[in-house]
Amino acid sequence: MTVHRTKLLIVGAGPAGYTAAIYGARANLQPLLVTGLQPGGQLTITTEVENYPGFARAIQGPDLVEQMREQAEHVGTRILSDTIVSVDLSGRPFEAVGDSGDTYRADTLVAATGAQARWLGLPFELAFNGAGVSACATCDGFFYRGKEVVVVGGGNTAVEEALYLANLAAKVTVVHRRDRFRAEPILQYRLAAHPRIAVVWNHVVEEILGQDEPVKAVTGVRLRDVGSGDTRDLAADGVFVAIGHDPATALFRGQVEMEAGGYIRISPWSTRTSVPGFFGAGDCAESVYRQAVVAAGMGCMAALEAEKFLADHAADAAVRVEERSTRAMIGAYV
């Protein structure tokens, strides 16, 4: 078992984590990044990324993550393939323990653990992920211009996704298992007034329909009436699952203030948390936009704030040493 000591520990290897590592390394903090179970986060299950700045042509999600990793290593980040299983934020240095048995001690810590979309749990859902099934309209809606799509869900997320997609798709059908939405009234009003949005009430998606040849693609969904049990097929080019996200923050629960839903609470226009020296970046602390570029920006903020935190504490420590030295000198002459 090894004990790793670092000024900056980053937990998570998505856009937030790698960007924090890049900025931390350039600030000479010698960051250590622990990848976790799914290095790259949700980008690893994303096919073409067209909205990340700097790439004139679409780049595959896994390729984008790999370039981030290479850049972080190039500027001096140590990257370890381990999964953090426990964290102690009760005092500094913070201490984390990996599944490997290794211990990590850090003066500052950035949580970049991300979030995961909730899925329906259907047999072909993951099989067609990236080939017609998505959990992010902002990410993938562009590919369904002029096509017909299905949105599954009944909360704010589902209605907002449907409204966004209605600006691109020829038709949007929202499938909800109940007879009314949970979304805010203003969102419901906008959805009801939109000519390209239809709603199928009291139904659930029982199966994703698709083809493997000549191109792997979704062709529709099989719906089941929750009352009668009757089924029917609905043609569609894409299915957007919008039943919420779960932030990966169980490690920190009970040790730091959190928002509803388990997101780490951060200060406005900052990544600072209720624990000094502990910062939250990306989808584990931000539930509104859920975009790679936003996560990367937060990773930058976290590293810069960690650098300032360490500098301020070093300055405070120097002042205390000088004060003690001064008092000792005065005592010697009294």
Residues acting as catalytic residues? 136, 139-140
Element (H, E) at 261: none
Contact 98, 82 (CB under 8 A): yes
Quote the crossing angle between the two packed helices 185-193 and 156-166, to the nearest 10°: 30
Asked whether the beta carbons of 152 and 239 are under 8 A apart, the reply is: yes
Q: How far apart are CA 157 and CA 221, in angstroms?
A: 20
- Cα separation of 261 and 264, whole Å? 9
Using CA atoms of 26, 28, 29, 35 in order, give the dihedral in degrees to the nearest 10. Answer: 40
Which DSSP symbol is given to 29? -
Cα separation, 192 vs 196, in Å, equals 10
H/E element, 60:
strand 59-60
Distance CA 171, CA 152 (A): 14
Whether 164 contacts 141, CB under 8 Å: yes
User: What are the residues whose beta carbons fall under 8 Å from the beta carbon of 318, sequence distance 6 or more?
Assistant: none
| Residues ≥6 apart with Cβ < 8 Å to 207 | 122, 123, 124, 221, 222
| 195 preceded by a cis bond (ω within 30 of 0) | no
Amino acid symbol at 223? L
| Residue 73, number of CB atoms within 10 A of its CB | 16
